[in-house]
Amino acid sequence: MFLGPRMMNPQYMLLRLGGFHFGTYANVGLALAPESDRQHREFLIRPFSLVFTAISKSKTNPRQVGIPIAKRPVAVLKTDIQEMQTDDLGCPGTCDSPADCRGAAQCSLAKIGNRKPEIGNIQSLLTSAATDDDEEPQSKNFTSTRNACKLCTPLGACLAFRGVEGCIPFLHGSQGCSTYIRRYLISHFREPIDIASSNFHEESAIFGGSKNFCQGALNITRQYQPQLIGTATTCLAETIGEDMGQLIHDLKEKHGENAAAPIVHVSTASYRGTHMDGFHSAVRELVEQLAVAGEKNKNVALFPGMASAADLRHLKEILTDFNLPLTLLPDYSDTMDGATWSEYEKLQSGGTPIAAIRALGSTQATIEFGRTLVETKTGGTVLQNKFAIPRQLLGLPMGIRESDAFFNALAEIAGVETPVKYQRERGRLVDSLIDGHKYAFEKRAIVFGEEDLVIGLTALLCEIGVTPVLCASGGRSKQLEKCLRAAVPDLPAETRVEEGFDFAEIAEAAPELKPDFLIGSSKGYSIARRLKLPLVRVGFPIHDRIGGQRVLHLGYRGAQELYDRIVNALLEVKQETSTVGYAYL
């Protein structure tokens, strides 16, 4: 079975997954049926359309139902069009748009045969793809994600690929995906970035995108001469079941082994996971597909997660001061935050050399940031399982306690004490906490963002005397609260820790929690504005300020900068709302 051609009509593309809505009208039929056999084709299409509507309406809390399409089951959600249909199951859904629907009573096509499907019999033909009830917010009036507190999965993969020297991201799917991701990355990093696309159209969605993929890979190789093509699949390619391994094999078989640049591919459907999942998956596949065994050396592999460009530069400085050779993956500190050019560069210089990625199988140790990755297959677990390289999983080094753990790990690997330079940074940080304690103590904060960033920020806030009243993320690792309370033992029991939260839910919860400020990405600005509270911008994305890529979060130095920004934000509110103007605090 294949998706019917009418499903690709923009009027039927009601994107409804992960906050970006990506579902389709539940109308499934044999797309390959001959056009002349129209009556037979409509007979096949109609029952499936009716069954999807009926099953959705029969559920108290509608979930997913699916049937085998292409090579594997595909989930199809109840969509806005189905919501608009009448309770009469005779509607075949043949209108050109929802606005044209006149109801089953006025529809002549609905009266053909004048019969309704027997749900019990037909449902046995379907493959259930219902999700776990715990995976969705159970708000009483919940309909769908409203302004998601996360971003799409391929975005994270594209950023990770731009952290590899000479690598260009290549999205296998529709052109709009690459346009959206480019816009988001450019407005945060203020740097140009090219993201190629296989540019699906109606034919590709039905018969597959092999032709588009092959032509795209050849065009990219000719125009950019990349060292590597990082291919990520989008929702559409995943939904129709594209076999990327087979597509790459076909490309080499038809055009030759070296016709296109080497390709690393990763599965990144946006209806599964967040931008952080896409980021970690891309790093894992780079290691899985490129790293080889070799003679052990003194190198340390560091997987920092989705840190800022300033954070990456700081991490390289720290490892250099410990005299530890470093392979940082990915490293977009130059490719996404470089100097001005005398001539335009199609692919910005910088990034982790591909030779260094291949040599990861020879490193002496691996450090990986991300407490919630404890049960996830990552680049670090690949090195551990394939090459027996010891792996240390640490939290993001934010604040004193988490930074201490990072520096102690480096000292143990290097066999030396922490350099005096960083001991003094730590001392200055402790001294500043004393200086500003009276301004930050017992203030209340809402923390939001990707899960591991939320954990790092919460650790810092608790150290400076701020009470986090809500720690929210759009991720669904099912590890957030457990990992958060393990990393921050003094976190108050009444602090709300929420996974799968969106910004609408944060806005609903905020007034009752009475926060003094919010800390997270610029996507929380509308909430802060409504509540007339300061927003301390951290993480990704920061679209409404210059320098988001240069915000330093990590290490004692990063904690110092964040602390100063938090306290100054509180002082500014106190000063601006005072009835007496004063310039001395």
The DSSP output letter for 293 is: B
Q: Which amino acid is at 573?
A: V
**CA–CA dist 183, 374 (Å, integer):** 32
Kindly state the tokens that stand for 307: 């840190």
Within 10 angstroms of residue 325's Cβ, the number of other Cβ atoms is 13
Kindly state the tokens that stand for 425: 């940074």
DSSP 307-322: --HHHHHHHHHHHHHT
- Residue the block writes with tokens 């002496």: 364
**CA–CA dist 311, 337 (Å, integer):** 12
Q: What is the largest CA-CA distance in the chain?
A: 84
CB neighbour list of residue 295: distance below 8 Å, 6 or more residues apart: 362
Pick the closest to residue 540 from 366, 309, 355 (CA basis): 309
Contact 305, 398 (CB under 8 A): no
3-state SS assignment for residue 213: helix
Q: Does 425-576 match 153-290 at the fold level?
A: yes
Q: Order of strands, edge to edge, in the sheet holding 326-328?
A: 326-328, 300-303, 365-369, 391-394
CATH number of 425-576: 3.40.50.1980
Within 10 angstroms of residue 201's Cβ, the number of other Cβ atoms is 12
> Per-residue pLDDT tens for 239-269?
999 999 999 999 999 999 999 999 999 999 9
Contact 523, 501 (CB under 8 A): no
- Looking at residue 312, what is its pLDDT? 98
For 441, counting Cβ atoms within 10 Å of its Cβ (0-12 exposed, 13-18 middle, 19+ buried), the class is exposed
Q: Where are the beta strands (DSSP E) in 7-165?
A: 28-29, 64-69, 72-77, 127-128
DSSP 136-168: S---TT--S-SSBSS--HHHHHHHHHTTBTTEE
Q: How far is CA 162 from CA 183, 260, 305, 383, in A?
A: 15, 18, 14, 22
**CA–CA dist 149, 454 (Å, integer):** 12
**CA–CA dist 356, 451 (Å, integer):** 29
CB neighbour list of residue 283: distance below 8 Å, 6 or more residues apart: 160, 303, 329, 330, 378, 379
Please calculate the CA angle 2-3-8 and round it to the nearest 5 degrees: 150
Please calculate the CA angle 385-388-393 and round it to the nearest 5 degrees: 75
Contact 396, 368 (CB under 8 A): no
Question: Alpha helix (H) ranges present in 291-398?
Answer: 309-321, 354-358, 379-387
Give the HSE-up count for residue 90: Cα atoms under 13 Å, Cβ half-sphere.
Answer: 15
Contact 571, 439 (CB under 8 A): yes
**CA–CA dist 112, 92 (Å, integer):** 10
3-state SS assignment for residue 91: coil
* Percentage helix, strand, coil for the chain under 3-state DSSP, each rounded to 5: 45, 15, 40
| CATH H-level superfamily of 300-420 | Nitrogenase molybdenum iron protein domain (3.40.50.1980)
Pick the closest to residue 149 from 506, 568, 431, 478 (CA basis): 506
- Looking at residue 70, what is its pLDDT? 40
**CA–CA dist 121, 199 (Å, integer):** 40
**CA–CA dist 484, 471 (Å, integer):** 9
Spacing of C-alpha 308 from chain mean position? 15
**CA–CA dist 156, 340 (Å, integer):** 25
Judge if the upstream peptide bond of residue 541 is cis by omega within 30 degrees of 0: yes
**CA–CA dist 244, 233 (Å, integer):** 8
Kindly state the tokens that stand for 460: 């810092």
3-state SS assignment for residue 107: coil
How does pLDDT run along the chain (585 residues), one tens digit per residue? 334 433 443 333 333 333 333 333 322 222 333 343 434 434 444 444 444 444 444 444 433 333 333 444 333 333 333 333 333 344 544 554 443 444 444 454 444 444 444 444 444 434 434 444 444 445 555 556 688 999 999 999 999 999 999 999 999 999 899 999 999 999 999 999 999 999 998 889 889 999 999 999 999 999 999 999 999 999 999 999 999 999 999 999 999 999 999 999 999 998 889 999 999 999 999 999 999 999 999 999 999 999 999 999 999 999 999 999 999 999 999 999 999 988 888 999 999 999 999 999 999 999 999 999 998 999 999 999 999 999 999 999 999 999 999 999 999 999 999 999 999 999 999 999 999 999 999 999 999 999 999 999 999 999 999 999 999 999 999 999 999 999 999 999 999 999 999 999 999 999 999 999 999 999 999 999 999 999 999 999 999 999 999 999 999 999 999 999 999 999 999 999 888 877 877
- pTM of the predicted model over 0.85: no
CB neighbour list of residue 341: distance below 8 Å, 6 or more residues apart: none
**CA–CA dist 378, 352 (Å, integer):** 17
**CA–CA dist 282, 129 (Å, integer):** 26
Contact 328, 316 (CB under 8 A): yes
Domain boundary assignment for the chain: 2-131, 153-290, 300-420, 425-576
The fold for domain 153-290 equals Rossmann fold (3.40.50)
- Looking at residue 201, what is its pLDDT? 87
